[in-house]
Amino acid sequence: MKSSEFAIRAGFVSCLLAGLGQFATDYWLVRHYPGYRWMAESVSYLGQVDSPVKREVAIWGVVFAVLMAMFGWGFYRAFAGEGRWATFATGMILLYALGEGAGSGLLPVDPGRGLNAPSHLLHNLFSICGDAGLMILPLILLKVFPRNNHPAFFRWSWFTTVCGLSLAVLFALTKTFPQESGILYYRGVWQRLYILIYHLYLIAVAFRMLR
């Protein structure tokens, strides 16, 4: 087997494991965190400083980062011939791996101290960078897979961008204007839907790698 073929297959498997693992671990962690309200609290709160599953969150963060990095490696080996846009897309995948994987997992939030806690500030910084990479990725892939040659995937990229950004804005509003009821109460729901939409998109990209 050629090294490029191995990288592509490894990247494909890694993307699937990262996507499935993201929701499988979330389900497990929620069940082992008494009092955690998954519909109203963000994923970050699973790894906060006083969380009973903080260590597990950190371990999964590192594993997730490695899996996404392998996916990025496979993506680059598959589409490097497409030019600089494929290179930029690989960078966004790696940024997401670092920000939402290692960074967010190893740097717990501290709701009690807020921004006064260095780890809380760094957690938010890494999370913002990781989310930015994920949001920008579909827009870059519009260049890698242009409309004339890939009409269905082109539409999916725009669908992911519009829906993903809408849910991300809604999630951000739950932080700015927290409520005890109503649409802005469901912070955890909007965040998890946002993650789901983008991970389905990443899996679609992984299948394109195999072709």
Mean pLDDT of 2-6: 83
Residue 120 in this model has a pLDDT that exceeds 90: no
Q: What is the pLDDT of residue 208?
A: 94
Question: In the block, which residue shows the tokens 């260095």?
Answer: 118
Mean pLDDT of 115-132: 81
Residue 113 in this model has a pLDDT that exceeds 90: no
Which distant-in-sequence residues (6+ apart) come within 8 Å of 24 by Cβ? none
- Output the CA–CA distances (angstroms, integers) from residue 123 to 29, 40, 45, 48, 59, in the order listed: 19, 19, 11, 10, 15
Cα 209 to its chain centre, rounded Å, is 19
Cα radius of gyration rounded to whole Å, the chain: 17
Residue 93 in this model has a pLDDT that exceeds 90: yes
Task: Give the helix, strand, coil percentages of the chain, each rounded to 5.
Answer: 80, 0, 20
| Number of C-beta neighbours around residue 120 at 10 A | 21
- Quickly state the pLDDT bin for 97 (edges 50, 70, 90): very high
Is the pLDDT higher at 48 or at 107?
48
Write the pLDDT tens digit of every residue in 38-85: 999 989 889 888 889 999 999 999 999 999 999 999 999 999 988 899
Q: What is the pLDDT of residue 115?
A: 59
Residue 105 in this model has a pLDDT that exceeds 80: no
Q: What is the pLDDT of residue 176?
A: 86
Write the pLDDT tens digit of every residue in 142-169: 999 999 999 999 999 999 999 999 999 9
Residue 27 is which amino acid? Y
Mean pLDDT of 184-194: 94
Mean pLDDT for the chain overall = 91
Q: What is the pLDDT of residue 114?
A: 59
Question: In the block, which residue shows the tokens 């679609």?
Answer: 204
Which distant-in-sequence residues (6+ apart) come within 8 Å of 61 by Cβ? 47, 101, 102, 103, 104, 105, 106
Write the pLDDT tens digit of every residue in 19-37: 999 999 999 999 999 999 9
Mean pLDDT of 1-27: 92
In this prediction the pTM is 0.92
* Angstrom distance (rounded) from CA 126 to CA 107: 9
